[in-house]
């Protein structure tokens, strides 16, 4: 199992159910039952997903009487986003280089090699 925070975050985000749960929590705090509603999964399975998200520090689970409301903790997402952003900058630089090459090819007539 991943031990560093970024690895835990990325591993948690790898699952579409967990991404769906996070998308729902963007709207605000929700109970486990509310989070489970859109998925055809058992209660224990949803709980396992929530534990993965909690270990990744992506959500916080509270206690209010018999309810266990969940809240999004966006800081771990920010750290993952910052890490991914560095690669976007690399791709942007590559695309700018490709655009410059294509512009050069558009303005230069093609060379012909007649035998």
Residue 108 lies in a domain: no
Residue 109 lies in a domain: no
- pTM of the prediction? 0.74
Which residues are paired to 72 by β-bridges? 59
Residue 65 lies in a domain: yes
- pLDDT tens readout for residues 12-57: 999 999 999 999 999 999 999 999 999 988 889 999 999 999 999 9
Are residues 69 and 61 in contact, defined by beta-carbon separation less than 8 angstroms?
yes
Look up the domain containing 98 and give its range.
1-103
Which residues are paired to 61 by β-bridges? 70
CATH number, domain of 98, equals 1.10.10.10
Cα-only R_g, the chain: 23
Residue 57 lies in a domain: yes
67 φ/ψ angles, rounded to the nearest 5 degrees:
-90, 150
pLDDT for the residue numbered 58: 96
Per the structure, the count of domains in the chain is 1
- pLDDT tens readout for residues 84-114: 988 888 888 888 888 888 888 888 766 777 6
More confident residue, 99 or 59: 59
């Amino acid at each position: 199992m991943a031990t560093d925070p970024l690895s835990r975050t990325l591993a948690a985000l790898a699952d579409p159910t967990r991404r769906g749960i996070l998308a729902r929590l963007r709207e605000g705090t929700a109970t486990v039952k509310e989070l489970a509603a859109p998925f055809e999964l058992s209660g224990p399975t949803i709980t396992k997903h929530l534990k993965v998200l909690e270990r990744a520090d992506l959500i916080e689970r509270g206690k209010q009487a018999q309810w266990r409301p969940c809240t999004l903790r966006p800081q771990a997402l920010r750290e993952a986003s910052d890490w991914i952003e560095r690669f976007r900058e690399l791709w942007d630089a590559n695309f700018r280089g490709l655009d410059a090459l294509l512009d050069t090819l558009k303005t230069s007539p093609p060379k012909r090699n007649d035998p």
